[in-house]
Chain A
Amino acid sequence: MGVVLLGTGLLFLLLGLGAYLWGPHQFRDPKYWSAFLAGRATVGLFSVLILGAILHARQGGPVYVRRIAGLTAIDETVGRATEMGRPITFSLGLSQQLDIIALQALAVCLHVVRLAIRFGTRVIVTMRNATVYAVADEAISEAYTAAGRPESFNRADVRFLSDRQFAYASAAMGTIIREKAASNYMFGEFFAEALILAEAGNQVGAIQVAGTPSTTQVPFFIASCDYTIIGEEFYGATAYLTREPTLCGSLMGQDRCKLVILGCVLIGILVATAAALTGHAGSVAWVKGFAGLFTGAK
């Protein structure tokens, strides 16, 4: 990983030097570079850290992932549905397009589906976006085929309900209650309808696991679900469930990026405190410039 980082750093240094020596005049202006680097430097650095960690994990480097109760409970909740003879419902959230959040929710959904196929349990997957439906339908159908049970796949169990928020919520609520789901999963992007779906699950006595990067809905899920997966645990779910080296390495890379952020925060706190105590104008300007690297703020 050190070689990757060094190589990437050298490459950018050479590019920058070449731009400075032979590029247009703006490349010799420090203000231009500080405005250009704002935000881009962090994205570049974090990308390199994450890719380096993935390489490290793929080469057999050790990776530890801490226990996450909600994800460990997924196997248990699928088993519960099998014992009770009732179906599982899985909501892929209300993403407006096939974005990162929807893809991650679909990845978790496929893990649940593959588990449910082994036990012969029915999974009803609902979604709001038609593009997500197109991908989900194909992916779930292939999961059944790969498990050797293509005849068990019921196309009517993958449902595009509506692209309207509360029309989707009422349809999903009706599905959960009519089908008397034993386990209800809600993964993806949610808005005001989150509590409606969760309460519908509570009405039928379903065990519920929710995972969303939408911080505004996390409190509602915590209050109404048995297990809640918060923030970046949502993005680490596939790594936790599959333990694939690529995914675990990616998780490790994210943790390294967080260490960098933590270091920058500590440096910023120390310098800002010193600036406030001494009133030294240079320190204050330095703090602002340092913060500007991340935000572009002047």
Chain B
Amino acid sequence: MLTFPILVFAALSVALVALALLHQAPTRVKRALTMATTFLAGLFYVVEFFVPPDPATSDAVVFGRNLTEMAATVGQVTQVVAGFTFLLGIYNLVFVHGYVIRRRREGWPNSVAFFISFLAMVVFSFWRDWKTWFGGANPPAWVRDPLPEHAARPHDVYTLLFDGLYRNLESTMFSILAFYIVSAAYRAFRVRTGEAGVLMVVAIILMLGQVPLGMALTNWIPASGQFAFFRVETLSQFILTAVNGPVQRAIGFGIGLGMLAMALRIWLSLERGTYFGQEE
């Protein structure tokens, strides 16, 4: 019963001691440790990728160790780290908005609204699911609606805050895009050059090819035969698949190579100086 808390306490203590020792270490030791850790962490995935797999399971096995299965576990380490850094993110939010309120900067009521909504969401989310995680009594009905007939839309505070407020605000922000697309297009799409003219014509064909009204314009062209290509939906598909598709793939080649190059530089610590310190 006590083993788990003892283990957690021991792990935290070891981590704190290690951090303290690391903090005291000279810069070159820290740099060497960072490079070594980065290399070893990356080496695991390189070995897992390049080692010929077992034909029965398609898993990479080295000295009896199944690296492919271990990769899933190793990947969870990043999720644990992300969990800790989330606390840092919350600290930042509290720090920034607390600073605005303390100094009564312009817009400080918005920061008060942030704290109220943040605390409300935290309190009711934890209260709602406390029994599921930690046991104890059922929450009141106004915190977690237990009625089966309300399963589709529970009548509780959590649902009001999340589905009623947050989801609708999210949809509102998404819907702004429709207006912004129109304003951006109106501002940017000016036919001043030949290329812009080609872009405009192609865009019109593509848009017409997506809607029944556009397709109706070329319905009179036979669906089969040598002129079927000129039906607007056929032309639209041709532009998307034979013209736009290869271009997207070409951009994708460049992006993939860029990612590979950067991954290699980070793995082999060739990016030193970009983020911390200066390259020697």
Contact = CB atoms under 8 A, between A and B. Distances in A.
B224 interface: no
A160 B92 contact: yes
Nearest to B114: A171
Interface in A3-29: 19, 23, 26-27
Interface stretch (A44-52, A78-86, A273-281): A44-52
A50 B261 contact: yes
Nearest to B171: A166
B49 A40 contact: yes
Contacts of B147: none
A87 interface: no
Nearest to A128: B89
Contact of A232 (B185, B248, B255, B271): B255
Given A130-B85, A155-B95, A166 B276 contact: no
Given A223-B189, A261-B253, A235 B258 contact: yes
Interface residues of A, number: 77
A196 B177 contact: yes
B254 A231 contact: yes
B197 interface: no
A100 B259 contact: yes
A133 B252 CA distance: 28
B109 to A, nearest CB: 13
Contacts of A118: none
Interface in A231-272: 231-232, 234-236, 238, 242, 244, 246-247, 250-251, 253-254, 257-258, 261
B149 interface: no
Which of A133, A161, A232: most chain B Cβ within 10 A?
A232
A133 B86 CA distance: 9
Interface string B85-102: 111111011011001000
B52 interface: yes
A64 interface: no
A270 to B, nearest CB: 17
Interface string B244-280: 0000100111110111111111101011011111110
Instruction: For the complex of A and B, list the 9 residue pairs with the smallest distance between their C-beta atoms, beginning with the closest.
Output: A235-B258, A130-B89, A232-B254, A166-B173, A160-B89, A223-B188, A231-B251, A232-B258, A131-B85
13 contacts: A26-B52, A26-B55, A47-B260, A133-B88, A134-B85, A134-B88, A192-B174, A231-B255, A232-B254, A235-B255, A242-B274, A246-B271, A254-B257
Interface of A: 19, 23, 26-27, 32, 36, 40, 43-44, 46-47, 50-51, 54, 97, 100-101, 103-104, 106-107, 110, 130-131, 133-135, 137-139, 142, 146, 155-156, 158-161, 163-167, 169-170, 178, 192-193, 195-196, 198-199, 202, 213, 215, 220, 222-224, 230-232, 234-236, 238, 242, 244, 246-247, 250-251, 253-254, 257-258, 261
